[in-house]
Amino acid sequence: MPGMDPQQFKEAQRKSWDSVAAGWQEWWKTIENGAQVVSDRLVELAKINPDSRVLDIATGIGEPAITAATKIRNGNGCGHVLATDMSSQMLSIAKQRASSLGLQDLIEFREGDAETISLPASMFDAVLCRWGLMFLPDLRAGLSNIYRSLVEGGRLAAAVWASPEEVPFISVVMNIVSKETNKPLPATGIPGPFSLADEHILKGALLESGFKDVGTEDMNVTFTFDTPPDYTRFHQSIAAPIYAMIANETQERKEEIWNAVTAEITRRYANDSTESVSLNNQAICISGVKV
């Protein structure tokens, strides 16, 4: 990242995710109603079984760690999950969710970022990461750390977002805020929601890190909201990158920007009869094996 201090960038990320953790707690059911299919597919791609030792990178509020731990418990296995994230506040919510589901003995939570967290070598049968790799300042450092932690034959399964036009769930609000604030969207090479939308870059990073049998597949992810204002309130609560873009705006101006978001989502996606909003988005799932 030319001209950018990676450590400062990561510290800003950590503070930003901490600041919206309460919003993620409020809206987690909306998120998981749409995103559960991705967690399920990642667990399948990683070939997790009840005895698997699993690492979840950038777990956020606990996924796909909780899905993996549920598979271990339901199979009466002796597997275990280590879930990591740079945000202590997000991890706190993940712990609460795991405990509420009776999974506290199967999941260990640890604070740290993928690039620098100390991981035992050749320990894990599977590594999962749902929408986390896109935010790494040094993707190859993170992948190398992940690779070292896997046993021979261990598998990585991760999900990233496709290009902005294929992910209206995120791009609608980002485009409106960019237009209203005259601030450009993150440039190529800057970590963000769409930084790994190019499958060639994504595949190349895994291959360079030593992974073999690297494959990708597209997956539809649908998010629904009762009304257009619910879509806006959702992003007001959870969208850390948006907070950074409007941080210096006056309160009045922020309200105008959010009203513009509601108007755009109404115009393009609201159901005329029910007012509900349904957004189809494309995720990219990628997997690879350590040999």
* Segment 201-216, tens digit of pLDDT: 999 999 999 999 999 9
Average pLDDT value for residue range 77-85: 97
Q: What is the pLDDT of residue 2?
A: 54
The model's confidence at residue 189, banded by pLDDT at 50, 70 and 90, is confident
CA distances from 96 to 34, 102, 113, 194 (A): 21, 10, 21, 30
Average pLDDT value for residue range 16-26: 94
CA distances from 69 to 9, 177, 257 (A): 32, 38, 41
Domains and CATH numbers, the chain: 6-163+191-223+281-289 (3.40.50.150)
* pLDDT tops 80 at residue 188: no
Q: Mind listing the pLDDT tens digit for each residue in 206-260?
A: 999 999 999 999 999 999 999 999 999 999 999 887 887 898 899 999 999 999 9
Query: How many beta carbons lie within 10 A of that of residue 251, not counting itself?
Result: 7
Where are the alpha helices (H) located in 46-121, listed in sequence order? Answer: 65-74, 88-100
The model's confidence at residue 186, banded by pLDDT at 50, 70 and 90, is confident
Q: CA 230, CA 228: separation in Å to the nearest integer?
A: 5
Average pLDDT, the chain: 95
Q: What is the pLDDT of residue 187?
A: 74
| Contact in structure between 224 and 279 (CB atoms under 8 Å) | yes
Q: Is 16 exposed, middle or buried (0-12, 13-18, 19+ CB in 10 A)?
A: middle
The model's confidence at residue 3, banded by pLDDT at 50, 70 and 90, is low
* pLDDT tops 80 at residue 32: yes
Which of 84, 43, 47, 85 lies closest to 67 in space, CA to CA?
A: 43
* pLDDT tops 90 at residue 137: yes
Q: Mind listing the pLDDT tens digit for each residue in 260-283?
A: 999 999 999 999 999 999 999 999
Percent of the chain scoring above 70 in pLDDT: 98
